Structure 1
């Protein structure tokens, strides 16, 4: 019964229009990264990038290589939009985007991770079967329908993202609106709205509207009586986020996803001039559909499980960052602090002169002050650099951070030689000192903070 429901053919208008919008947005993402200086600031400044641990081979191309890289990636986005060599184009963009995502963490963003997932999903969908150059060159590809599981996969992925984003906000600093105040404090100089955003009642509205929107928007869009109102609220919510937080294409991608919640007749009338409508009652199951079903079940089990992993890791994820990435913990906290490195020659016992800022870009300097995995990676890098000069060194870190405007507290055990410290990928790293968050006294917001 479930198989019949999943493989029932339905009108594919939503997917076709979404493909066009999706292709346009990923093109803007790639070429916009060049135009805004993101490529230069994130990938070219500094001697190296902080890749995901274990993927050290992923480093930016030399010279102007990354500009060409992003230009080509944008071209693949155009091909996706036009439906030209669709599967190859979306897979090529997915591989290139994933490589950039995994090669740097100083500009980490949950939305970048979401785009990586969406590119993989879109590569599995028949989004080129209408209104595409692939159909123009091969009319046999033309089709007005798609299996219902396309809707299920898209909506399930969105539901996971929004639900976890809502749940993650259920912690004291968000519930008392102080975190919203921190976020708005960083935007007090915004033209026209800067002063308005500093009002306490605005902070309360942002805090609880964020929880309710993320938790309820998918059910509200699925339920016909609330769909139009939910769509109007979505427009306001995402445009507000775009203007206030400058988070790239994500707000517009989210609005594009609402296509999957409206009936085909509405989408055709607005975007396709009502020229086509699939009305047959067909069930088409591919010959080898069972392995595909198993793959998607495993995929969604992973998506459900990953955001939960920090609950089984010792200490508070706000403090340790262990389990933070890939968990839809978006714009939840501010972190800032100060850090220094003591490099000691093991042979002589003498401290060696060392200035970490000379090796890092400004964006990397902000990241290294609060993220344990980045600090650990940097120490290994420094150790190797000194080894090339014939010196065996020990590195001790003095790192103090504050979270959400709280007190400065020591993050890393200053007695631990970080060149010998091990990185645990899945569990707690013992060289991190215990979290003081349960006894912290709140202070005014710190001026040097980073948000994720």
Structure 2
């Protein structure tokens, strides 16, 4: 773990990951998502414990994305590397913490990888820092720096694999049947993709792929074949499903599993092309004691966190208690309809809420199927209507302490709609915490 290994894989990874971050930030800006997702909405669904994270006012919200672009370029060039790695981690994580509506597993993965890169000395070769700070080149570094990257990549795949060992995925081939059936209209391949046998093939292949690919990438003889499947698998998923840049992140990141000689050749060609003069570097085998403790805590947390769902009763995909941060990738399809009502405590009179008055389409879609979103939205509506006039017909009532009710129905993986939450609960009284949410109706398979 602490033996000296070539620094080349870390340098190549730094350049590739920096380029991916640069592309992602530019893509986000070019599609107008900064305005649509962060500037336009008045209300955001914050993570538990992070309600203090607020968006910047107006067009200032473009600032963290501009900082990401600058920091990504700095990472690629190895200029002020640790400062830019830290800036990249903080700006990216800040953006993600503003609203969990846009949570994706690969965003979480990126945040974790950026956190690791802050402490990894990937700037000690082929970087501007060598000239800026007159640093001596390092040729070898402790293996732990590369191993922790491989660990995180392997963990993502393996946990995504074991999460597929469940009824809907293996027995019903859901939600793959639902998703693939949408391609039935395509010429030539539409009928093939919509065939149930194809859905089952994808389901079982996905399980085998995810659970075995980390180990196959580690093997010298199996690595070339494994990487072929990495490329094939992720390009197919990219073509079929709207999962953004995640396939390209994994295709590029898994190159870290290739031997140091592979990365060294790439680096030497790049150095020769740019006419960068290299020097005989140091062999470094010592690791800071604090970093060892950090890695230990990081590994333990990442191994335990995906299993926290075991602390909650009921169906995980129905309740979604312990679902996030557990690498359950593309395992469910939920559709919901949440109708909220504001009720006068004294007269019992109600008005129905038009959710589009308060939420974007993306926010409403997520809110309608997830209990924690429902609680937060209920609290927001309470704040909006407290001490206001409730108008119904020709009458109006002053709402001092309104009741917020919701009738929520949800469909999971193609099943018929089921009652998710009934109108008997006052959402203004429900607490947003880590406890099991007893107001959720029991799932009926």
Does the alignment reach a TM-score above 0.5? yes
**Residue 8 (structure 1) aligns with:** 3
Q: Deviations over 1:380-415 (max 9, x none)?
A: 011111125363111111001010000211111321
**Residue 379 (structure 2) aligns with:** 380
What SS does the corresponding residue of 2:234 show, helix, strand or coil?
helix
The answer to whether 1:226 aligns with 2:226 is: no
Superposition deviation, residue 55 in structure 1:
2.1
**Residue 40 (structure 2) aligns with:** 45
**Residue 407 (structure 1) aligns with:** 416
Distance 1:207 1:185 in 2: 14
Superposition deviation, residue 280 in structure 1:
9.7
**Residue 249 (structure 1) aligns with:** 245
Specify every segment of 5 or more residues in structure 1 that has no aligned partner in the other structure, as ranges.
Answer: 1-5, 438-452
Q: How many residues end up aligned between the 2 structures?
A: 429
Q: Deviations over 1:56-83 (max 9, x none)?
A: 2323222222223312222211111111
Superposition deviation, residue 120 in structure 1:
0.1
Q: How does 1:94-133 map to 2 (within 5 A)?
A: 94-133=89-128
The answer to whether 1:435 aligns with 2:431 is: no
Superposition deviation, residue 195 in structure 1:
4.5
**Residue 445 (structure 1) aligns with:** none
**Residue 397 (structure 1) aligns with:** 406
Distance 2:79 2:118 in 1: 13
Superposition deviation, residue 278 in structure 1:
11
TM-score (normalizing by structure 2) = 0.91
Q: How does 1:8-157 map to 2 (within 5 A)?
A: 8-157=3-152
Superposition deviation, residue 284 in structure 1:
2.5
What SS does the corresponding residue of 1:7 show, helix, strand or coil?
coil
Distance 1:264 1:200 in 2: 43
Report if aligned partners of 1:128, 1:134 keep a CA contact under 8 Å in 2. Answer: yes
| CA spacing shift, 1:16–1:399, aligned 2, 3 Å | same
**Residue 290 (structure 1) aligns with:** 289
Report if aligned partners of 2:25, 2:68 keep a CA contact under 8 Å in 1. Answer: yes
| CA spacing shift, 1:298–1:338, aligned 2, 3 Å | same
**Residue 233 (structure 2) aligns with:** 237
Larger deviation: 196-205 or 427-436?
Answer: 196-205
Report if aligned partners of 1:20, 1:80 keep a CA contact under 8 Å in 2. Answer: yes
The answer to whether 1:268 aligns with 2:249 is: no
Superposition deviation, residue 282 in structure 1:
5.5
What SS does the corresponding residue of 1:266 show, helix, strand or coil?
helix
| CA spacing shift, 1:146–1:388, aligned 2, 3 Å | farther
| CA spacing shift, 1:346–1:335, aligned 2, 3 Å | same
Distance 1:279 1:223 in 2: 30
Report if aligned partners of 2:48, 2:433 keep a CA contact under 8 Å in 1. Answer: no
Report if aligned partners of 1:144, 1:278 keep a CA contact under 8 Å in 2. Answer: no
| CA spacing shift, 1:188–1:135, aligned 2, 3 Å | farther
Report if aligned partners of 1:188, 1:195 keep a CA contact under 8 Å in 2. Answer: yes
| CA spacing shift, 1:302–1:418, aligned 2, 3 Å | same
| CA spacing shift, 1:55–1:431, aligned 2, 3 Å | same
Report if aligned partners of 1:197, 1:203 keep a CA contact under 8 Å in 2. Answer: yes
**Residue 417 (structure 1) aligns with:** 426
TM-score (normalizing by structure 1) = 0.89
2:198 corresponds, among 196, 199, 202, to 202
Superposition deviation, residue 249 in structure 1:
2.6
Distance 2:329 2:315 in 1: 16
What SS does the corresponding residue of 1:178 show, helix, strand or coil?
coil
Distance 1:30 1:10 in 2: 32
Superposition deviation, residue 141 in structure 1:
3.9
RMSD: 2.3
| CA spacing shift, 1:60–1:189, aligned 2, 3 Å | farther
| CA spacing shift, 1:215–1:45, aligned 2, 3 Å | same
| CA spacing shift, 1:136–1:250, aligned 2, 3 Å | farther
Report if aligned partners of 1:29, 1:248 keep a CA contact under 8 Å in 2. Answer: no
**Residue 173 (structure 1) aligns with:** 168
Report if aligned partners of 2:342, 2:404 keep a CA contact under 8 Å in 1. Answer: yes
Superposition deviation, residue 37 in structure 1:
2.5
Report if aligned partners of 1:220, 1:227 keep a CA contact under 8 Å in 2. Answer: yes
Distance 2:189 2:129 in 1: 47
| CA spacing shift, 1:232–1:278, aligned 2, 3 Å | farther
Q: Deviations over 1:320-374 (max 9, x none)?
A: 0100001001100100021101211224432145322211111111111101111
**Residue 178 (structure 2) aligns with:** 182
Distance 1:257 1:111 in 2: 12
**Residue 447 (structure 1) aligns with:** none
Report if aligned partners of 2:141, 2:283 keep a CA contact under 8 Å in 1. Answer: no
The answer to whether 1:319 aligns with 2:318 is: yes
Distance 1:311 1:213 in 2: 25
